[in-house]
Amino acid sequence: MLDVQKIREDFPILTREVHGKPLVYFDNAATSQTPQVVIDAIVDYYSNYNANIHRGVHTLSQEATDAYEMARKKVQKHFNAKHTHEIILTSGTTHSINIIATGFTSLLSEGDEIIVSALEHHSNIVPWQMLCERTGAILKVIPMNEDGELVMDVYDQLLSNQTKLVFTNHISNALGTINPIEEIIEKAHSVGAAVLIDGAQACPHVKPDVQALDVDFYVASAHKLCGPTGVGMLYGKEEWLNKLPPYQGGGEMIEQVTFEKTTYAGLPHKFEAGTPNICGGIAFGAALDYMNGIGFENIAAYENGLLEYGTQKLLEIEGLKIYGTSKNKTSVISFNLNDIHPYDVGTIVDKLGIAVRTGHHCAQPIMDFYKIPGTVRASFSFYNTKEEIDALVEAVKKAKMMLS
Ligand SMILES: *Cc1c(COP(=O)(O)O)cnc(C)c1O
């Protein structure tokens, strides 16, 4: 089990106060907090070996290149990719998805079909709509049920020889539902479709094995895994990454340039035009080391305890309804209080030092399904405690009293 008091000492921000109260940070599904080892990696880079990578023969450039490429190896190992060059370092999940969505433009034709899930984040809807506009492909949606789960029978019916791509998140950021991605991948492959999994919300809680999943593409952001913002990853199977064209043109991604013709660099550089977020990549590696040091099994077991406790305590409040009631879910609780607007609840609990998210969580189709403007979302991490959940429950009770 985790020594949570000791873990909390790793996060300097957790000692601060908000409106004179100790900070309770329950907005982990939007971004995680940063442990000192990751902050140290950032400071160390800018203090000691800040230089551009890959091009320089001088010592600092070599040190920066080695550290950046070491980070890529850490990402490879973490996700169990077969080859290091199957890991593209990007600016985050959104960037990673756009690389694939743009790349597929030349591979799709009119009448081809793309299947997405009803539980998607906007970053996993809009790029596909744009791809459909460019190619004449058709977007189909796997619907959801009241519990916030995908209706897999309908998925079976949507699949056909026309299906070229299937996209879903691994875990829903709005509701916490863990989607049956093994089944989704296997069935997509049976009709010859490629699968991209958005792991942005899964990676803080589980350690995906891309080879065991046999997934074609898997994407995530460092900032939800104790790393910095503006950096993330794209895993793609070698044969797919070779097939797709580059996303951006520029430095780093070329082999040879003349005004007549340019040949592209091999993987992974073909997809890494321009100077990347070097420091961010190195800090991403440090964040993976930190989380693996704690252990994902320990993290999941502890967070499940928080989820169970929080669910039970919040449901004791009369008039409180939780959205997303799948048995298969992670530590995200999305709720509303009678017909009080979520924004009003969020504002009052903030005055009590508690950070929750309110709104549609970049997943408007889910809110439309429930016919609500949004929810209050409390998302727990391994550095949160039951005492903090007690503080949230008290704050929600207070909000209810003030607003009803
Ligand atoms: C956060 C999130 C994204 C977007 O990640 P960015 O880091 O903003 O690119 C996409 N999908 C899911 C499920 C997320 O939780």
Instruction: Looking at the CA of residue 229, tell me the nearest atom of ligand 1.
Output: 7
* Mutual angle of helices 342-351 and 386-403, in 10-degree steps: 120
**C-alpha distances in Å from residue 155, one per residue of 54, 241, 300, 305:** 45, 26, 28, 32
In this structure, the residue with its CA closest to atom 2 of ligand 1 is 200
The DSSP output letter for 137 is -
In this structure, whether the domain defined by 39-293 belongs to CATH 3.40.640.10 is answered with: yes
CA of 89 to the centre of ligand 1 (A): 15
CA of 213 to the centre of ligand 1 (A): 21
Based on the number of CB atoms within 10 Å of its own CB, is 346 exposed (0-12), middle (13-18) or buried (19 or more)? buried
129: nearest Cα among 97, 174, 176, 162? 97
Beta bridge partners of 47: none
Contact between 352 and 21 (Cβ < 8 Å) = yes
Q: Of 32, 95, 123, which is best to mutate to test ligand 1, by the most ligand atoms within 8 angstroms of its C-beta?
A: 123
Instruction: Looking at the CA of residue 94, tell me the nearest atom of ligand 1.
Output: 9
Q: How far is the C-alpha of 45 from the C-alpha of 232, rounded, in Å?
A: 18
Domain chopping of the chain, boundaries: 4-30+296-403, 39-293
Beta bridge partners of 2: none
Tell me if residue 203 is catalytic: no
Q: How far is the C-alpha of 378 from the C-alpha of 332, rounded, in Å?
A: 6
Given the residues 132, 203, 226, 362, the one annotated as active site: 362
Number of H helices, E strands in the chain: 14, 17
DSSP string, 34-102: --HHHHHHHHHHHHH----SSS--SHHHHHHHHHHHHHHHHHHHHHT-S-GGGEEEES-HHHHHHHHHH
Fold that domain 4-30+296-403 belongs to in CATH: Aspartate Aminotransferase, domain 1 (3.90.1150)
Cis check: omega of the bond before 143, within 30 degrees of 0: no
- Looking at residue 86, its pLDDT comes to 98
CA of 22 to the centre of ligand 1 (A): 28
Based on the number of CB atoms within 10 Å of its own CB, is 26 exposed (0-12), middle (13-18) or buried (19 or more)? buried
Instruction: Looking at the CA of residue 123, tell me the nearest atom of ligand 1.
Output: 10
Q: Of 93, 96, 170, which is best to mutate to test ligand 1, by the most ligand atoms within 8 angstroms of its C-beta?
A: 93
Q: Residues enclosing ligand 1, CB less than 6 A?
A: 92-94, 121, 123-124, 169, 173, 198, 200-201, 221
pLDDT, tens digit only, all 404 positions of the chain? 899 999 999 999 999 999 999 999 999 999 999 999 999 999 999 999 999 998 788 999 999 999 999 999 999 999 999 999 999 999 999 999 999 999 999 999 999 999 999 999 887 889 999 999 999 999 999 999 999 999 999 999 999 999 999 999 999 999 999 999 999 999 999 999 999 999 999 999 999 999 999 999 999 999 999 999 999 999 999 999 999 999 988 887 888 888 888 888 899 999 999 999 999 999 999 999 999 999 999 999 999 999 999 999 999 999 999 999 999 999 999 999 999 999 999 999 999 999 999 998 888 899 999 999 999 999 999 999 999 999 999 999 999 999 98
- Identify the helix (H) or strand (E) that includes residue 292: helix 278-294
Beta bridge partners of 357: 377
- Looking at residue 1, its pLDDT comes to 80
Contact between 360 and 367 (Cβ < 8 Å) = yes
Instruction: Looking at the CA of residue 120, tell me the nearest atom of ligand 1.
Output: 13
CA of 93 to the centre of ligand 1 (A): 6
In this structure, the residue with its CA closest to atom 5 of ligand 1 is 93
Q: How far is the C-alpha of 13 from the C-alpha of 7, rounded, in Å?
A: 12
159: nearest Cα among 206, 96, 114, 214? 114
Side-chain half-sphere of 207: how many Cα atoms within 13 Å?
19
